[in-house]
Amino acid sequence: MAKSYERLLHRCATFIGGYAAMYTVLIRFNLGSSQTVNLLDMLNSLLGHNAREFLLRLLGMLIYGCSVFAASYLSKKGWSGVRLLCGAICIAGFAVLGFMPLEIDRCVGLYPTFVTMPFLWVVYGNIGGYASAPIFSTNNYRQTIGGIAEYAASHDKKALDKAKFFGGTLAVFHLGAFLSWIACAQLSGKAAFLGMIPCLMLCALELAPGLVPGKAKPHRA
């Protein structure tokens, strides 16, 4: 697959990641793309002897882990449909989020993203020439600054390309987050339904690479 086309796919996945991240922060008061807070809450529930909250967060951890396992297994087996499956899972995940009541348990409300975001990460996190998570900001920010520093020290064009790639990833992620903020302000929990649009676009890019001039049909991971 042409590197430029891979990067287009990665950018689209990153936009989805940014949209989902802001949505979960605003609507579910937690970052549904990661397990850091969930695992801390799980430990806090265990130490506080809150069995119900502990079990809900344990289930969330297991759901996230199963999604990582499934995406990794299918990718390693070389199944040609893994990317379209990823898109379909993301569409379904946003649909479920949109139908979930606002008053549902905060952790349970994150279960759909505990399925979709790790799948998106595994499937689209290693294309375009770099390993870059489309669902987080911290490492992409670090890599951007590191690339700039490396270029300033060596004037190596590869370092500049690295800085541009990760900087662009940050920009697209936060564009998705910005539009998610607007959607949530207007639609509250129903803003999840708009998250299905970039997922459909990602599927369209996978199905019709010929629509992008000069791009070869992508190899299915």
Answer yes or no: are the C-beta atoms of 30 and 20 closer than 8 Å: no
pLDDT tens sequence across 148-170: 999 999 999 999 999 999 999 99
Top-confidence residue, 41 or 221? 41
Residue 155 lies in a domain: no
Residue 218 lies in a domain: no
Residue 22 lies in a domain: yes
What is the C-alpha to C-alpha distance for residues 171 and 18, in angstroms, rounded to an integer?
Answer: 10
Q: What is the largest CA-CA distance in the chain?
A: 60
Residue 150 lies in a domain: no
pLDDT tens sequence across 195-211: 999 999 999 999 876 55
Answer yes or no: are the C-beta atoms of 189 and 31 closer than 8 Å: no
Structure tokens at 168: 């662009």
Is pLDDT of 86 > 60?
yes
What is the C-alpha to C-alpha distance for residues 89 and 91, in angstroms, rounded to an integer?
Answer: 5
**Average pLDDT of the chain to the nearest whole number:** 93
Count of domains observed in the chain: 1
What pTM does this model have? Answer: 0.92
Residue 54 lies in a domain: yes
Residue range 157-184: average pLDDT? 97
Q: Which amino acid is at 188?
A: S
Answer yes or no: are the C-beta atoms of 6 and 129 closer than 8 Å: yes
Residue 8 lies in a domain: yes
The alpha carbon of residue 70 and the mean position of all alpha carbons in its chain are separated, in whole angstroms, by 16
Expressed in angstroms, the distance from the first to the final Cα of the chain is 10
Structure tokens at 158: 């590869």
Is pLDDT of 217 > 70?
no
- Domain carrying residue 105: 3-131+176-205
pLDDT for residue 8: 95
Q: Which residues contact 139 (CB under 8 A, 6 or more apart)?
A: 132, 133
Residue 148 lies in a domain: no
